[in-house]
């Protein structure tokens, strides 16, 4: 099965509106000369306050903006109500989002997000017609203790609990070893591919072989223009979730270009 690659930029808590607009325009300018078939699925995740300005630039006029999908970095699972500071899936859809990143290790670590909360978010995102990008990954201590696979399998089973096979098939998972995020240390591509193949087997164990074949599983953790080609050449790695290198149009566009060299036309 050939899965269309995804290159997703997680802008985290960075960029004011004017900077987000400039970055989005820099990506748009690069992709406008390529067809959707040539390009990977491109996703960018600005902060909530920049969703509007980015959506306005992502117009449908053929300038390339419509080749970039917009993601939110978080959501709440309820539609509306007394949840001060939260944003619902319906609101994100209204703001132009088609993806939502959930379970990022920074949210698990700093905001105490649990597997149960991530599962509720995944259900709400899919019910609202959006696509979850579900993050998982081990700490350095867990890796050194030899519990990487069991930890990740348990995160994945919890996140996907109660989802239908169709819902699982259209979801996205990002394997992000925590020790590789923002550290400049990339996980060895063969090892990332091994863990991602293990995640695919875990998905199969809770759904179907068809869903496991369809679901796109990304690698994240210090991805750079110089690492992506090797990562994308591996059998199970379907793309990348990129933090630091997504904050400059030049490096993000180079990641897109290097992905196209090895793994597009789907
Ligand atoms: C991330 O935060 O999802 C990430 C992978 O960051 P970085 O690329 O900076 O390691």
CA of 241 to the centre of ligand 1 (A): 7
Can you give the pLDDT at residue 63? Answer: 62
Where are the domains positioned within the chain?
6-263
| 76 carries an active-site annotation | no
CATH architecture of 6-263: Alpha-Beta Barrel (3.20)
Contacts of residue 199, defined as CB under 8 A and 6 or more positions apart, other chains included, come to 136, 152, 153, 156, 173, 175, 217
User: Which of 208, 112, 203, 213 minimizes the C-alpha distance to 155?
Assistant: 203
Cβ–ligand 1 contact at 220 (below 6 Å)? yes
Weakly modelled stretches of the chain, pLDDT under 50: none
Cβ–ligand 1 contact at 54 (below 6 Å)? no
Q: What is the pLDDT of residues 181-213, one digit of tens each?
A: 999 999 999 999 999 999 999 999 999 999 999
Q: In degrees rounded to 5, what are phi and psi of residue 135?
A: -90, 145
CA of 235 to the centre of ligand 1 (A): 22
Can you give the pLDDT at residue 55? Answer: 87
Can you give the pLDDT at residue 249? Answer: 98
């Amino acid at each position: 099965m050939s899965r269309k690659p995804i290159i997703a930029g997680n802008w985290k808590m960075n960029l004011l509106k004017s900077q987000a607009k400039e970055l989005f325009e820099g990506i748009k300018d690069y992709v406008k000369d390529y067809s959707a078939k040539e390009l990977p699925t491109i996703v960018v995740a600005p902060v909530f306050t920049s969703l509007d300005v980015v959506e306005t630039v992502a117009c449908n006029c053929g300038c390339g903006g419509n080749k970039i999908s917009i993601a939110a970095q978080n959501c709440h699972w309820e539609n509306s109500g007394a949840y001060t500071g939260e944003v619902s899936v319906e609101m994100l859809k209204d703001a132009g989002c088609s993806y939502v990143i959930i379970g990022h290790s920074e949210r698990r670590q700093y905001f105490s997000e649990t597997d149960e909360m991530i599962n509720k978010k995944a259900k709400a995102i899919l019910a609202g017609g959006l696509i979850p990008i579900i993050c998982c990954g081990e700490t350095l201590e867990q890796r050194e203790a030899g519990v990487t696979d069991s930890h990740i399998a348990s995160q994945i089973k919890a996140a996907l609990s109660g989802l239908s096979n169709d819902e699982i098939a259209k979801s996205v998972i990002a394997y992000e070893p925590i020790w590789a995020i923002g550290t400049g240390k990339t996980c060895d591509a063969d090892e990332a591919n091994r863990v991602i193949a293990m995640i695919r087997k875990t998905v199969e164990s809770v759904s179907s072989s068809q869903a496991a074949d369809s679901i796109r599983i990304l690698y994240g953790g210090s991805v750079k223009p110089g690492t992506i080609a090797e990562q994308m050449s591996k059998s199970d790695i379907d793309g990348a979730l990129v933090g630091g290198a997504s904050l400059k149009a030049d490096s993000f566009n180079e990641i897109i270009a290097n992905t196209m060299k090895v793994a597009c036309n789907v």
